[in-house]
């Protein structure tokens, strides 16, 4: 990598640099939380995979940084894969637009490839930043503001489930919540949702479990709703907070749902029935939710929940043959792709992707004429099965060779997945 003169990259191995890292982060992401308070929080910094860009000059210090979470079981369609999750990206405002991010990205890609991570993912602070580096928007999210008392379609078995409500206790509830959250991504316990990353590393778990007053933004302490079956087994949970408000003596409170996860339809119905009927509340805010979350089908009037969609997760394919062979496909296909990749030349060129009846792909270099031409960014966008290659072709981002429209239809079907990619948290 070639940083501008006067800058050098350093690996940050432990929290001896915590003060500098948090100070830089607070320059990049302005916060009302006091510096000393920030230092006391559980910060999920992946030490050893945190990289700082140091500068000399009159006031030497950290000019930029990034980190990467080593997700070893990131869910892709029909499988789990190693993914280097880009995070903690920040450039001090006094050092921006000098190419530091571009150089950190090049370093991140090389580091992931060395570690055998065929894809990288991220959630973006701003949607316009990462497309230029070959990240494609692969998992959208929806957020809802549901009126209190909104009607749900009836689901058999819901009323028989038991409801427990607790004040959040990380030691007691953290493991149950982490288990249900993890199970939800997997078949047959859960639905098998691509993108549903779990809190794999100890730092991520500790940060997830905390509920410090500094991060409550005027809401109450976190509470837990647990749904259990007749055998006493947890089947779903929601973590939520309420904020009381009054509008000319009429109760106007808000419930903020941090996440709501259920392993079956009856548990989802029971969970939301409780959340939608808390006294003194007027609305329930929820999101990020997957765009096909059960609540959208359960609501009789989903429009009244004012669904708003936007990007959640972006995927960058780093090692094309390994990444494409590392997921499953919804239907057989045999297609020749011609791929451009300005940053990782090894991915560029023509590839034949053959998907067999079991949904497994063989990916090999090809001399045959290309049927679909696309950039690595579009392949990343389609990787979780939710963004359609046909829709990208309609937008002119996948170029279809003359006479290859049937190939596009087959590829778009194969790359699709029955469950929408999504997640419950931003990291």
Ligand X SMILES: CC(=O)SCCNC(=O)CCNC(=O)[C@H](O)C(C)(C)COP(=O)(O)OP(=O)(O)OC[C@H]1O[C@@H](n2cnc3c(N)ncnc32)[C@H](O)[C@@H]1OP(=O)(O)O
Binding residues for acetyl-CoA: 89-91, 97-102
Q: Which of 7, 66, 130, 237 is catalytic?
A: 130
Nearest-approach distance from CB 254 to ligand X, in angstroms: 27
Enumerate the known binding-site residues: 89-91, 97-102
Q: Does 122 contact ligand X by CB under 6 A?
A: yes
Q: Which member of 18, 47, 99, 409 binds ligand X (CB under 6 A)?
A: 99
Measuring CA to CA, which residue among 423, 44, 424, 48 is closest to residue 210?
A: 44
Active site residue 133: no
- Residues 3-62 within binding reach of ligand X (CB under 6 A): 28-29
Q: Which of 69, 133, 329, 427 is catalytic?
A: 427
Peptide bond into 186 cis (omega under 30): no
Tell me if 125 contacts ligand X by CB under 6 A. yes
Nearer to ligand X by C-beta: 100 or 139?
100
Could you say whether residue 204 binds ligand X (CB under 6 A)? no
Strand order in the sheet with 333-340: 361-365, 349-355, 333-340, 372-375, 398-400
Question: Contact 223/165 with Cβ under 8 angstroms?
Answer: yes
* Interatomic CA distance for residues 411 and 166, integer angstroms: 48
Nearer to ligand X, 32 or 126 (CB): 126
**Beta carbon of residue 326, minimum distance to ligand X (angstroms, whole number):** 22
- 151-182: burial string, b at 16+ Cβ within 10 Å, e else: ebeebeebeebeeeeeebebeebbeebbebbb
Short-list 68, 88, 131, 74, CA closest to 326: 74
Decide whether 53 or 180 has the Cβ nearer to ligand X: 53
* CA 128/CA 311 separation, integer angstroms: 11
CB of 197 to ligand X, least distance (A): 14
> What does the alpha-carbon distance between residue 296 and residue 420 come to, in Å, rounded to a whole number?
13
CB of 276 to ligand X, least distance (A): 33
Taking the least distance from each CB to ligand X, the nearer of 27 and 296 is 27
Site for ligand X (CB under 6 A): which residue of 45, 68, 100, 335?
A: 100
Least Å from the CB of residue 414 to ligand X: 29
Query: Is 29 tagged catalytic?
Result: no
Number of residues that bind ligand X (CB under 6 A): 22
Those residues with Cβ within 8 angstroms of residue 185's Cβ, 6 or more apart along the chain or in another chain: 75, 191, 192, 193, 196, 197, 198
C-alpha span between 119 and 131 (Å, rounded): 15
Q: Name every residue whose Cβ is closer than 8 Å to that of residue 265 and which is 6 or more positions away in sequence.
A: 155, 157, 294
376-405 residues near ligand X, rule: CB under 6 A: none
Binding mask 57-96 for ligand X (x = CB under 6 A): -----------------------------xxxxxx----x
Q: Cβ closer to ligand X: 203 or 338?
A: 203
Q: Which residues are catalytic?
A: 130, 427
Residues forming contacts to ligand X in the complex (CB under 6 A) are: 28-29, 86-91, 96-102, 122, 124-126, 128-129, 132
């Amino acid at each position: 990598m070639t940083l501008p003169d006067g800058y050098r990259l350093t690996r940050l191995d432990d929290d001896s640099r915590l003060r500098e890292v948090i100070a830089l982060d607070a320059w990049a992401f302005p916060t009302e939380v006091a510096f000393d308070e920030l230092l006391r929080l559980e910060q999920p910094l992946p030490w050893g995979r945190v990289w700082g860009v140091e500068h000399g000059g009159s006031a030497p210090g950290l000019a930029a940084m990034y980190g990467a979470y080593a997700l070893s079981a990131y869910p892709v369609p029909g499988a789990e894969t190693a993914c280097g999750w880009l995070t903690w990206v920040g450039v001090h405002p006094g050092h921006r637009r000098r190419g530091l991010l571009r150089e950190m990205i090049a370093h991140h890609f090389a580091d992931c490839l060395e570690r055998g991570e065929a894809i990288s993912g991220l959630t973006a602070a701003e949607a316009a930043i990462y497309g230029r580096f070959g990240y494609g928007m692969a998992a959208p999210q929806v957020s809802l503001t549901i009126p209190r008392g909104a009607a749900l379609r009836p689901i058999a078995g819901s009323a028989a489930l038991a409801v427990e409500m607790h004040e959040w206790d990380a030691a007691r509830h953290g493991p149950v919540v982490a288990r249900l959250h993890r199970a939800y991504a997997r078949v047959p316990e859960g639905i098998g949702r691509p993108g549903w990353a779990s809190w794999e590393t100890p730092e991520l778990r500790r940060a997830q479990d905390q509920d410090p007053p500094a991060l409550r933004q005027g809401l109450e302490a976190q509470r837990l709703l647990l749904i259990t079956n007749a055998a006493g087994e947890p089947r779903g949970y929601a973590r939520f907070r309420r904020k009381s408000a009054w509008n000319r003596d009429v109760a106007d409170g808000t419930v903020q749902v941090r996440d709501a996860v259920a392993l079956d339809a009856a548990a989802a119905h029971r969970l939301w029935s409780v959340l939608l009927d808390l006294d003194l509340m007027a609305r329930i805010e929820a999101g990020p939710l997957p765009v096909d979350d059960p609540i959208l089908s359960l609501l009789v009037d989903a429009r009244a929940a004012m669904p708003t969609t936007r990007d959640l997760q972006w995927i960058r394919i780093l090692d094309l043959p390994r990444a494409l062979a590392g997921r499953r496909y919804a239907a057989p296909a045999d297609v020749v792709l011609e791929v451009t990749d300005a940053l990782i030349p090894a991915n560029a060129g023509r590839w034949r992707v053959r998907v067999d009846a079991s949904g497994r792909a063989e990916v090999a270099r090809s001399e045959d004429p290309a049927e679909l031409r696309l950039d690595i960014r579009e392949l990343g966008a389609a990787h979780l099965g939710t963004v359609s290659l046909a829709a990208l072709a309609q937008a002119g981002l996948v170029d279809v060779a003359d006479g290859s429209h049937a190939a596009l239809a087959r590829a778009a079907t194969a790359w699709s997945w029955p469950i929408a990619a999504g997640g419950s948290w931003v990291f």
